[in-house]
Amino acid sequence: MPAYTPDIQAPSERLHYFHPFRVVIATVVIVGVYAGLAFSLGGNHSGAAGRLALAVVLVVAGVWRTFLPRTLSADATEIRWKQAFQPVETVPRHDVAAIQYVTTARPGTPRYYFVNRDGKAILWADRFTPARMASFASYLGIPMRPVSVAPATNAAADAAVKQNAIVGSRRTFMVVMAVVALVGLAATVGAAFWMTHSSAELAAYRRAPLCREASADPLACRFDAPAVVTDFSARGHIDIRFPADVPTFHHSTTWVRLGNGAQPDPPFAVGDTVQIEVWNGYLLAINGAATDELGTLVSNSSWLLVAGAGFFLVVPLMALLLGWKGPDSWFVDRTAPAAAPKSVLDNPPAVPDQPGPKEKPGAIERFPVRDLADGAGDGWPTLVSVPDFDYARYDENLSATGIPASGERLLAKAPAHYYGDPGTPSILLLTDRRLVVLGPTRLEIPRGRISLLAYWTFRDSIAVTYQTMSGPRGILVTGPQLVLVGGPTSDMHRLFETMQVAFTNPDRIREPVVIVRPIGAWGRGMVASSRLSHRLWLAWVG
C-alpha cells in the first residue's frame, strides 16, 4: 500500500496529547448537573443527594482517565510512548519498518501500530489524529499505511504492554483512592468541628431559661413569639407569618416542620395564631411541640456524624493499602470480547419487483430494465475472492483493475463497503458493458443480466437485481455519505439517476460521474463503535 498522507505537515519528533480545557468543561458540566439535581431534590433527600455525589465522583474520575496525557517521542536511537501513571514503553528505532493506521479502530483503542519487518506490531498508540501521526512518520522516515485489520502483535511487546497496563491500573486506582481519602479526611475534620459546635449550641439551649422577652444575648434565654399559620404543604411544611419583627430572627415569613412524634398543644389550623419558641435564630418549638430544627441540632451533636464522615476516610485508606499490596490479578482487564455482529447475509433485506402491501408510497423508486437482453454473449455474473485487494492502489490507479477495457466506457465510479463488512472498503464501477464491485471479493455483473434498479429512500441505498444460472439475485449498495433519510440530494440517489441514464441513453453521460466523498473520522468512529449497522453498507438482498 502507498504511504498514508492525509495532510502535509512539518515532520515532528514529539506528539503530546492533553486537553485540560475539555476536562474542565466536562467536570463543570457534571458538577453543575449534580448541583441542579441536588437543589431540585431539596433538603428532604440528603441521602439521595449523597448517593448521587458518589456517582458524580466516579463519572468525573472516568472523564479524567479518558483525557489522561499521552506523549509519543523519538530520538536517534529509540521511540518512546508514555501514558500517565504507566511506565515508558520504548522500542529501538531501527526495528520499526512502518506505521499501520487502523481505519476502523474503536474510540479509545489503539489505532496506530509500529510494525517491524515481519509485519508484527511492537508498539501501538492512540488518541492522535492521522495528520499528526503522519508528521511523526515523516520525521522517522517510514511509511504510514491504512489497514482495516490490526496487525499481529509481537509476543514480548504484548506482554510488556499488558504489564504496563496492570501497573497503570494499579497507580490510577491508588491515586483515585488517595484523592477520595483526602476528601474523606476533610469531611471528617469538618464533621468533628461541626459536631463540637452543635454540641456547644445544644448545651447552651438546654441551659437557657424561657423568658417573656428577648435578651440582648441571643444565647441567654429563649422566648415565644406569636405567628399566624398561613398554609400546610404536602411536604409537611407549616407556613407561618410573624405580624411583628422578631429579635434574632430576620424574616417575617418562613416555614417550620414538626419533629417525629411531636404533638402541639393546643392543635391549630390555617388562620390560627401559634406560639413559636425562638432561640439564637432557631425556631425550635410550635405550641410546645419540638420542630425538626431541634432534631437536627441533636443529630449534629452526635459522634455518629463524625463516624459517617470517617467512613469515607477509612475505606479509601484500606483500598489504598490493598491496591499497594494486592496481586496483579486484581488489576487485569477482564473485559469480554465483543460478540461478532450478525452478518446481513443471514437476514437480507429484500426489494421485490412490485411494491408490497406494507410498503409506504414513495419509499422505493423502481426502474425496471425494459430492454433486458438475453445476455447470451455476455456470460453470467461472477464472484471471485481477491485476498490481496489494495483499495488505495486501485482507487488511485483505476487502470490497474482492467476497467474500462478497450472500447469500453466508464460511466460512474463510487466508494462502497462490501457485503456488510464495514472494515473492507470497495469500489463500485459502472460501464456501458457491466457493473463491477471491486473489493476483497470481486462481483461482476454483465449489463444484459441486470433486470431491476431500485432506490431505497429510508436506507439511502440502491438495489440491483440480476439474473444468475440459479435464478435472480441482488445486491444492496450504500455509499459512505451518512444520512438518516436519503433523497434527491444524496450521492446514492445521484448514482441511481446515473444508472437509469446508463440503461436508457448512455451517450448523455459525456464524463464519468465520480463520487469521491470519504467516510470521515466521525463515520469511522460510528462504524467502529457499532452505532452504524452493517446493514447500511452492501449486502445480498436476493
* Omega before residue 267 within 30° of 0, cis: no
Given a cut of 60, is residue 520 above it in pLDDT? Answer: no
pLDDT for the residue 373: 53
Given a cut of 90, is residue 514 above it in pLDDT? Answer: no
364 and 510, same domain (yes or no)? yes
Among 300, 331, 363, the domain boundary falls at 300
Given a cut of 90, is residue 537 above it in pLDDT? Answer: no
Summarize the confidence of residues 408-431 as an average pLDDT.
Answer: 73
pLDDT for the residue 158: 75
Torsion-angle region of residue 517: left (phi > 0), alpha (psi -120 to 50) or beta?
beta
pLDDT digits (tens, 9 = 90+) for 341-376: 444 433 445 677 788 777 788 788 888 886 645 544
98 against 35, higher pLDDT: 98
CB-CB contact of 312 with 180 (8 Å): yes
Question: What's the burial of 210, exposed, middle or buried (CB within 10 Å: 0-12/13-18/19+)?
Answer: exposed
51 against 21, higher pLDDT: 21
295 and 353, same domain (yes or no)? no
Given a cut of 70, is residue 527 above it in pLDDT? Answer: no
220 and 354, same domain (yes or no)? no
384 and 494, same domain (yes or no)? yes
CB-CB contact of 524 with 498 (8 Å): no
490 and 399, same domain (yes or no)? yes
Given a cut of 90, is residue 227 above it in pLDDT? Answer: yes
Summarize the confidence of residues 242-253 as an average pLDDT.
Answer: 86
Among 274, 300, 326, the domain boundary falls at 300
Q: For 530, list phi and psi in degrees, rounded to 5.
A: 65, 20
The residue assigned the cell 531501527 is 94
280 and 363, same domain (yes or no)? no
pLDDT for the residue 50: 61
Range with lowest mean pLDDT among 178-192, 236-250, 281-295, 391-405: 391-405
Q: Which of 232, 219, 225, 230 is nearest to 276 (CA)?
A: 225
CB-CB contact of 119 with 72 (8 Å): no
As a whole number of angstroms, the distance between CA 458 and CA 326 comes to 54
Q: Which of 19-23, 59-63, 242-246 has the highest mean pLDDT?
A: 242-246
Summarize the confidence of residues 386-397 as an average pLDDT.
Answer: 77
382 and 241, same domain (yes or no)? no
Instruction: Please give the grid coordinates belonging to residue 195.
Output: 459536631
For residue 170, is it within any domain?
no
The residue assigned the cell 425494459 is 370
216 and 272, same domain (yes or no)? yes
For residue 131, is it within any domain?
no
pLDDT for the residue 333: 61
Give the domain extent around 465.
Answer: 344-540
Question: What's the burial of 347, exposed, middle or buried (CB within 10 Å: 0-12/13-18/19+)?
Answer: exposed
CA angle 160, 166, 167 (to 5 degrees): 90
Summarize the confidence of residues 393-421 as an average pLDDT.
Answer: 77
For residue 198, is it within any domain?
no
Range with lowest mean pLDDT among 280-284, 383-387, 414-418: 414-418
Q: Residue 196: CB partners within 8 Å, gap ≥ 6?
A: none
Given a cut of 90, is residue 274 above it in pLDDT? Answer: yes
For residue 519, is it within any domain?
yes
* Omega before residue 266 within 30° of 0, cis: yes
419 and 288, same domain (yes or no)? no
The residue assigned the cell 496483579 is 328
235 and 370, same domain (yes or no)? no
pLDDT grade for 230, boundaries at 50, 70 and 90: very high
Summarize the confidence of residues 488-503 as an average pLDDT.
Answer: 84
Given a cut of 60, is residue 459 above it in pLDDT? Answer: yes
pLDDT grade for 286, boundaries at 50, 70 and 90: very high
Instruction: Please give the grid coordinates belonging to residue 483.
Output: 444520512
The pairs formed by 200-204 with CB atoms below 8 angstroms and a separation of 24 or more are 201/280, 201/297, 201/301, 202/297, 202/298, 202/301, 204/280
The neighbour count for residue 356, using CB atoms within 10 Å, is 10
CB-CB contact of 6 with 131 (8 Å): yes
As a whole number of angstroms, the distance between CA 7 and CA 141 comes to 16
pLDDT digits (tens, 9 = 90+) for 233-247: 877 889 999 998 888
Q: What is the number of domains present in the chain?
A: 2
Among 300, 326, 352, the domain boundary falls at 300
Query: DSSP 3-state assignment of 542?
Result: coil
CATH number at residue 284: 2.40.50
As a whole number of angstroms, the distance between CA 289 and CA 276 comes to 9
Summarize the confidence of residues 34-50 as an average pLDDT.
Answer: 63
Which residue type is seen at 222? R
For residue 501, is it within any domain?
yes
293 and 348, same domain (yes or no)? no
pTM of the model: 0.45
Q: For 458, list phi and psi in degrees, rounded to 5.
A: -60, -40
Biggest alpha carbon–alpha carbon distance for the chain: 117
For residue 323, is it within any domain?
no
For residue 313, is it within any domain?
no
Given a cut of 50, is residue 526 above it in pLDDT? Answer: no
254 and 396, same domain (yes or no)? no
The b/e string for 145-175 (b: 16+ C-beta within 10 A; e otherwise) is bbbeebbebbeebeebbeebebebbbbbbbb
For residue 442, is it within any domain?
yes
As a whole number of angstroms, the distance between CA 177 and CA 485 comes to 48
Instruction: Please give the grid coordinates belonging to residue 443.
Output: 462481483
